[in-house]
Structure 1
């Protein structure tokens, strides 16, 4: 009884502290947006100048770790009991994971990033506006959207899925540290980990919501001539918040599943259409050459820092921003992936969360980025690269105007953005509810709705205080402490796999182990053994 009461009190602490901090950020940003923007800028500058090396090393460690798990003998382990079957079909499973992992962001940056790199070439690797610059632009866009981000998600997702479905732990990030910290994960240290995870999720999703709001507003402006100022951005954010909060009143099997399936049916229409009407050979060549350059240079790209030109702001605006954003999203995407992945093997999980999404992302960038670069080189769309530099959110819709059926395709693009927006935010309320209520897999509706309001509030504050620049800086700041936690998750997860492998059968609460025949709980320690 005392243990149960203690756990409930700890859960209430995580919920109360997380809500309070999120609400205070919203209040601070609403009362003093200029002061809020100044402080975040100062902290951002410090992180970028002094900690870029850590983000690069952490991302590389996570990628190597998850590839090792997929290729090793551990890949055969099922995320659940051996007799468990997957809850969702492969298409619905992949659709939900992809929209949670990328959502509207790939639509936002899949075209804008290559054009940005074409004008502001990474590390000065080619003269701006040249054929060589176009090649570097595709290569670095692949680098930012392929293996590394998905590996970051996969580490968090695999660890949570293994501990919840195989070890019968609660769906919390802190529970993964039990092999390292023992029962201290049930105390203040574990609660601190869970609070950090909640805050990382809040700001990670808020950045995505803010970016999607910017792009939807820009799309409405380009398509229907509506204003695109901050007032319209906030109105779009409010209307979309109402939509995802409506979806949040339904179960995952209904709202999120169907929204994800719709998005994965509509998005390929855009991809196929612009491949057919676009410069198909250029797009194929961009994919082929970009893939070769990316894989051939992945090691130097993964460690390049421009060490002797630290004043160069490119790293902070791009690689460090992306790595920190993916890290901030890791608890959100990881917990959601874990929630829907019972019955899958580790190898199947790695393939579906790292390899396949990376391929899809690169195809999207080659089709849209390749066609946009061709427009920039030909001058047929005016200075489209310069337009994107001034307003990245408008890039997709300026591009659409250069091809047939511009009005229809703009509307379809807005619909895809809207659906991704709603489904992603809805999934976010599930994860926040689970993290803040002690791992409850189906948090109460009022908890999800409360988090929905706070997500919209944080996104609105970031838009008002700094627009796109403010969104990027918030992402970097929230990803910094959680990067340390993710590296710790690798260590704890690997130790758990070694412990379980030593017994010949993963530990399950209240079950007898195959090798000893003795009762063991999920918390028992077993000596390490080399796999």
Structure 2
């Protein structure tokens, strides 16, 4: 009786995972701290803090000068690569690589879909949506992009909403997806450390990726994460302060109170971070989803409901109708006015998202184990984009309608515009408290995820960094946010300064991301699933060629076990006597003629 090759026989013909002990790094609870990465990063951070305190004007002037050169000379690169990342991510999802799992072949997702989405969304854009949910659509309505529409007109409304979607949907999440995929694939599929540098093993080899080049990449990733997260913490603190003022809890909010807010929330997110992803961040993210849903529902029902419903299809249509124009807009199309607008919005956003990719990309990689590449791209790009669409339709539409009705929302500082909108609704004071609580939880959930990521980068890619390292980075992050507020006396100058630095950090990391795309494709081409598919296609083609050469068109190809399991993996000669990569006996039996 013919012997059917068992699973072990089949696996021996397939390319092995690397290393042979798959997921070795993920099984280790803690790995030693990389003294070079941690030491250099910590020293540079301390030097920056000293510079900011001792020579504030020098820091501000230097950052502004470098930022101007980056935007002037590299603005085109941000515009081009951001769209390229969207195309790349979608191509991966729809290509044959989309079925590759981010883990072993039969591995199931680690987190349920709702928790996965909640954690991903909270880490990626939580405070940003709260801060800009009202402010950006209203700003574009009052001052549309140059050459697009006249202010405060129906055309300006369409332009405002489509431009906002452009900045907050497919492009930013594609940027996150590129880094997240490279890290998740390398960590959970190939068994490599969860480090940015590990993504370059296919290009430069393990020795270089783990050497000086790799450490430099990981240090850069820590800095980008640290300053990008600190800027978002500053935004959150300013908005909470504005909520206290708008709600009548304080007559005014000074720098000292903002620092106290940061200190309290820093203690909270450090406590959450040391509890681990599965406990702290997951619980906070789920609470976020509920509170955000309640706030959005109240504004939807109490605000201009029909206008909001009308906006949903209009925004989608305008977004895709204007996508090519928005994606191609550079200083060449509109002179100085367009250049100034781009530097304040599109180029700033693309650089801002790129500066967040080490943090958000590594975090969504950490929570995406077991999902396929297609599921990953669909979840990371489409679901948050849909939520952003609904969020901006509700808050942006309500704000613009309130402005049309005579409200003075546009005259307020951007951090106070959300609370000004809530004041126009019933129970505005209660809604303001909910909004402040939501900002605080977004603050905590985003910051503790960032501190865990920096701990991972500092400890050779360990999935569970030690508490001491996590606490250190969390405290430093809060300290930088507080110092920048002190430097700017609680105003926008401090945040502008730290945002300038994150944009500067984004330029070299943009180049890193381009190389990551190349390395990822090289990795995927040699994935076991892809190589098995290639061998299967070659086997079928060889069997068909064999049948035609020997039997014409009068043959069929049954699937049967070989007589000897040792035949598995052998090659069959084609009609010219050359090897074509198929089993000889199997091909001959599969191509028997039928009388």
Same fold (TM over 0.5): yes
- Tell me the equivalent position of 1:524: none
Deviation at 1:422, TM superposition (A): 0.5
Q: Structure 2: where are the runs of 5+ without partners?
A: 1-24, 26-30, 535-567, 571-595
Query: Measured at CA, do residues 104 and 9 of structure 1 come closer, stay the same or move farther in structure 2, by a change above 3 Å?
Result: closer
In structure 2, which of residues 71, 85, 89 is the aligned counterpart of residue 66 of structure 1?
Answer: 89
- Tell me the equivalent position of 1:500: 527
Are 1:204 and 1:478, in contact at CA under 8 Å, matched by a contact in 2?
no
Q: Secondary structure at the match of 1:431?
A: helix
Q: Secondary structure at the match of 1:504?
A: helix
- Tell me the equivalent position of 1:97: 120
In structure 2, which of residues 265, 272, 276 is the aligned counterpart of residue 240 of structure 1?
Answer: 265
1:490-512: CA deviation from partner (whole Å, max 9, x where unpaired) = 01001111122663289xxxxxx
Deviation at 1:366, TM superposition (A): 0.5
Deviation at 1:34, TM superposition (A): 2.0
Deviation at 1:378, TM superposition (A): 1.8
1:243-276: CA deviation from partner (whole Å, max 9, x where unpaired) = 1112122121111110111101111001111111
Relative to structure 2, which stretch is displaced further, 64-73 or 497-506? 497-506
1:475-527: CA deviation from partner (whole Å, max 9, x where unpaired) = 31121111111111101001111122663289xxxxxxxx979xxxxxxxxxx
Is the counterpart of residue 294 in structure 1 residue 326 in structure 2? no
Are 1:110 and 1:365, in contact at CA under 8 Å, matched by a contact in 2?
yes
Deviation at 1:120, TM superposition (A): 1.9
Aligned pairs, number = 498
1:42-65: CA deviation from partner (whole Å, max 9, x where unpaired) = 111111111110001111111100
Is the counterpart of residue 216 in structure 1 residue 244 in structure 2? no
Q: Separation in 1 of the partners of 2:183 and 2:138? A: 37
**Pairing 1:335-346 to 2, within 5 Å after superposition:** 335-346=362-373
Are 2:288 and 2:441, in contact at CA under 8 Å, matched by a contact in 1?
yes
Deviation at 1:38, TM superposition (A): 1.3
In structure 2, which of residues 159, 163, 169 is the aligned counterpart of residue 136 of structure 1?
Answer: 159
Deviation at 1:25, TM superposition (A): 1.2
Is the counterpart of residue 429 in structure 1 residue 464 in structure 2? no
**Pairing 1:95-244 to 2, within 5 Å after superposition:** 95-182=118-205, 183-226=207-250, 227-244=252-269
1:375-431: CA deviation from partner (whole Å, max 9, x where unpaired) = 11121x2x21122xxx11111001110000111111111111111110110111110
TM normalised by structure 1 equals 0.91
Q: Secondary structure at the match of 1:96?
A: helix
Q: Provide the aligned C-alpha RMSD in A.
A: 1.8
- Tell me the equivalent position of 1:510: none
Deviation at 1:10, TM superposition (A): 9.0
**Pairing 1:292-371 to 2, within 5 Å after superposition:** 292-307=317-332, 308-310=334-336, 312-371=339-398
Are 2:82 and 2:350, in contact at CA under 8 Å, matched by a contact in 1?
yes
Q: Secondary structure at the match of 2:370?
A: coil
Q: Separation in 2 of the partners of 1:215 and 1:325? A: 19
Deviation at 1:9, TM superposition (A): 9.2
Are 2:138 and 2:399, in contact at CA under 8 Å, matched by a contact in 1?
yes
Q: Separation in 2 of the partners of 1:485 and 1:192? A: 11
Q: Separation in 1 of the partners of 2:569 and 2:216? A: 36
Are 1:10 and 1:191, in contact at CA under 8 Å, matched by a contact in 2?
no
1:320-359: CA deviation from partner (whole Å, max 9, x where unpaired) = 1111111011111111111111111111111110001001
- Tell me the equivalent position of 2:482: 460
- Tell me the equivalent position of 1:396: 418
Q: Structure 1: where are the runs of 5+ without partners?
A: 507-514, 518-531
1:412-453: CA deviation from partner (whole Å, max 9, x where unpaired) = 111111111101101111100001111011011010010011
Q: Separation in 1 of the partners of 2:147 and 2:234? A: 30
Q: Separation in 2 of the partners of 1:310 and 1:48? A: 12
Are 1:425 and 1:452, in contact at CA under 8 Å, matched by a contact in 2?
yes
Deviation at 1:220, TM superposition (A): 1.1
Q: Separation in 2 of the partners of 1:82 and 1:304? A: 43
Deviation at 1:472, TM superposition (A): 2.9
1:107-160: CA deviation from partner (whole Å, max 9, x where unpaired) = 110110011112221123112222221221111001000000000001111110
- Tell me the equivalent position of 1:491: 518
Q: Separation in 2 of the partners of 1:124 and 1:222? A: 35
Are 2:33 and 2:458, in contact at CA under 8 Å, matched by a contact in 1?
no
Deviation at 1:30, TM superposition (A): 1.6
